[in-house]
Amino acid sequence: MTSALLSVRDLHAWYGESHALHGIDLEVFAGETVTLLGRNGVGKTTTLRAIIGLIRKRTGAIAFEGKDLMRLPLHRTAHAGIGFVPEERGIFSTLTVDENLVLPPVVAKGGMSIEEIFELFPNLKERRNSPGTKLSGGEQQMLAIARMLRTGVKVLLLDEPTEGLAPVIVQRIGELLATLKKRGMTILLVEQNFRFASRIADRFYLMEHGKVIAGFPVGELEGRMTQLHEVLGV
């Protein structure tokens, strides 16, 4: 098998004196969608934040395209080709859709043009002159994802993209992620809704208490329902 595009080995992370991650191992191959599952507070978001470099108190190994990321500053990690879409989305409320889209710098060739983005996100084209404060939660989520696609990132780290959204918008987000997957985008997704994730994910990592307790392909999902019910409480 070819080597992973993104590889994490024995990752530990701390918030101050609080030890949040306890030896995370995971890998994501090019073109895959991999989902981190777990209850709130088990370290899923912390894992993404540690990978991108927002948490600096960390040990272990993080490699992207075979290059060590652990010593790189945050901006260098972003320029390496990893894009992070946080749960809070980070939309600038006083800027228009157009202005939000062009704010992050292009980090690599192959990013989508504004025209391609509007083809993929027609809602944003209709609202292109609207400020962030006038967008719905679903439109803000689409804008946060679209903003990363313009920069040319090779991996998207998505933190709870369906949180707080109406079912019809959740379905639309799922369709968008499926389209990105077909286009070859690599995605590491944090999601509590495993039924949503099962429609787009290739593999899962199940987390509990800051550790990965299981890793399995989507084909094993139904056979692990008892474990999922116990760990996720669903």
| Residue 1 banded pLDDT, cuts 50, 70, 90 | very low
Average pLDDT over residues 111-125: 94
pLDDT tens digit sequence for 182-233: 999 999 999 888 889 999 999 999 999 999 999 999 999 889 999 988 888 7
Return the pLDDT at 234. 63
Report DSSP state, residue 131: B
Tokens of 15: 């918030």
Tokens read off for 96: 């228009």
Q: What pLDDT score was predicted for residue 4?
A: 95
> 174 in the Ramachandran plot: left (φ > 0), alpha (ψ -120 to 50) or beta?
alpha
- pLDDT tens track for 66-117: 999 998 888 888 889 999 999 898 899 999 999 999 988 888 888 899 999 9
Higher per-residue confidence, 194 vs 19:
19
* Residue 220: CB atoms within 10 Å: 12
Cβ(203)–Cβ(182) under 8 Å?
Answer: no
Q: Are 36 and 214 in contact (CB under 8 A)?
A: no
Q: Is the separation of the CB atoms in 123 and 97 below 8 Å?
A: no
What are the residues whose beta carbons fall under 8 Å from the beta carbon of 141, sequence distance 6 or more? 89, 161, 165, 169, 173
Q: Could you tell me where the beta strands, DSSP code E, fall in 48-175?
A: 58-64, 67-68, 82-85, 155-159
Mean pLDDT for the chain? 93
CA 158 to chain centre: 2
**Average confidence (pLDDT) over 33-58:** 95
Q: What is the pLDDT of residue 161?
A: 93
Question: Phi/psi at 80 (nearest 5 deg)?
Answer: -70, -20
Q: Domains along the chain? A: 6-232 (3.40.50.300)
